[in-house]
Amino acid sequence: MTTDGAELLERIRAGGPVPRHVAIIMDGNGRWARERHLPRPLGHRAGMRSVREGVEGAIAAGVEVLTLFAFSEENWNRPRAEIGALMGLLDEYIARETEELRASGVEVHVLGDVTRLQPASREALDRLIDATRGGTRLVLNLAISYSSRAEIARAARRLAEDVVQGRLALEDVDEEALALRLYTAGLPDPDLLVRTSGELRVSNFLLWQIAYTELFMTPVLWPDFTRRHLFEAVLAYQGRERRFGRVTA
C-alpha cells in the first residue's frame, strides 16, 4: 500500500457511491502534543497539515462538501493563551492556504458566530471567502465559534421573527423551513461523520444535520490524520447499507 493511499483511492472509485458531504471532528491535537511533551499550541500547529490532507483527499475521492469542526463555542472557555494561539493559527492558515484553495477550486464557507472573533480574524475570513467564491470542486465549511444547539436556537428565532412579521404562516413552520435557516442551508446533510482520537461523542456538532449520518470513529489523533485515513473512512461508508429508518425488502 502506498503512503498516499493510491490503492485505497482505486478501491473507492470501484466501490460505488461516494459520500457527497463528509464532516470531520478534528480531535486529538492536545493529546498528540502531550504524548511528545510539547506545548498544546504545537499540537494545533501540527494539525494544520492534516487540514490540507483532508481537503486534498476529499477532492481526490470526489466528495462535494467537507465540513471541519475547527473551534467550538465551548472552546472560548479554554485558557486565554491557547485561544490566542488558535486564532493566530487561523490567521496563518488563511494567509498560507488561500491561493492554494482558490487554485484547487475550493469554495470556503464559515459556520458559526464569528462576531466573537477579533476584527482582524473576521477580516481575514472575509478575504478567504471572497477569494474562493465560485470554486466548483469542493465546498469547504469551516465551523468556527460553532455550537449546534446555538445554531438550532438561532434558526428557531428566525422562524419566530418571520411568523411575527407576517413573512411566514404558522402552518408552514416545518422541518424544511427550519433547515433553510441553518448555517448549512442549501447544502446536503452529511453522509459521513468522522471523529479522530477515538472519542465516541458528537460534541454538539451538526446535531440537526446528522440525523441519519453514518459515523466513523478512528483512534488516529488529528495531527497524524492523512488522506489515506479519509479514504479508509469512505471505504467503510461504501460498505454500509443506509436504510433511513426503512427495512430492506
The residues that are catalytic are 27, 75
AA identity, residue 183: Y
Residue matched to cell numbers 485561544: 83
CB 76 within 8 A of CB 118: no
From CA 131, how far away is CA 98, in angstroms rounded? Answer: 7
From CA 88, how far away is CA 105, in angstroms rounded? Answer: 25
From CA 109, how far away is CA 107, in angstroms rounded? Answer: 7
Q: What is the DSSP string of 71-137?
A: EEGGGGGS-HHHHHHHHHHHHHHHHHHHHHHHHTTEEEEEES-GGGS-HHHHHHHHHHHHHHTT--S
